Chains A and B, each alone.
Chain A
């Protein structure tokens, strides 16, 4: 299996709702990531997990809450979002390589298209 699977593919939620995005990979990758991509813009990093521990939070508002229950799963819990949070949310994974071993290629999922109304 060489894929990163994201569910759901589309999500519409109100500003008072609570929802979760799910990401799954079975490639044995120990680094997993959440990126956010607005229309016609490049992806921007939100969170980095390594060996199931959060290592980077790029100053993301607390209404976004990541969770890594095991080495294959990554969740993004959403609560009280704003319309400007509407975007494509991308999950990715990579091999965990030591610094200096080169650059690991990322595998991205197809994303969840989120619309906040």
Chain B
């Protein structure tokens, strides 16, 4: 699985746009890039997934350059409730019969300041 590197932590003021970049230099051709959000004492929540270029949903945007060696999660106008750990995952290991293993890196702890 491709190794990912993210900032350990980030601070942002409410209302600002936050961009979290993930580096994944050895991404494989078939690998998707997926981001999860985790609040304390809750399970991770799927935010967004992409393969190339740009993906946008109601929560976030994901920007992937042509070489796919990095990706950027963009959260528009964050609020205090966006304070969480954000995990970038690249690829997932097929474990047979339709199941996939996720390997989480250390994640980025985002703190939104009033």
Instruction: Give me the interface of A with B, judged by CB distance under 8 Å.
Output: 4, 30-31, 33, 42-45, 48-51, 53, 55-56, 88, 90-92, 94-100, 102-111, 113
Contacts and interface: CB of A to CB of B under 8 A. Distances in A.
A82 to B, nearest CB: 22
A30 B92 CA distance: 17
Interface stretch (B17-25, B41-49, B63-71, B74-82): B41-49
Contacts of A105: 34, 46, 49
The 8 A-B pairs of least Cβ separation, nearest first, read A96-B98, A108-B43, A42-B104, A50-B97, A31-B99, A103-B32, A50-B99, A105-B46
B102 interface: yes
Nearest to B96: A55
Interface string B75-113: 000000000000100011011111111111111000000
Given A102-B32, A103-B32, A48 B44 contact: no
Contacts of A49: 99
Contacts of B105: 42
Contact of A30 (B30, B41, B98): B98
Contacts of B41: 88, 110-111, 113
Given A31-B98, A50-B96, A106-B44, 8 more contacts: A43-B104, A51-B97, A55-B96, A56-B99, A88-B41, A96-B99, A103-B32, A105-B49
Interface residues of B, number: 30
Q: Give the most central of A56, A96, A108, A111: most B CB within 10 Å.
A: A108
B92 to A, nearest CB: 5
A42 B105 CA distance: 6
Contacts of A43: 44, 102, 104
A96 B105 CA distance: 23
B44 A55 contact: no
Given A31-B99, A90-B43, A96-B98, A103 B104 contact: no
B95 A56 contact: yes
Contact of B95 (A50, A98, A108): A50
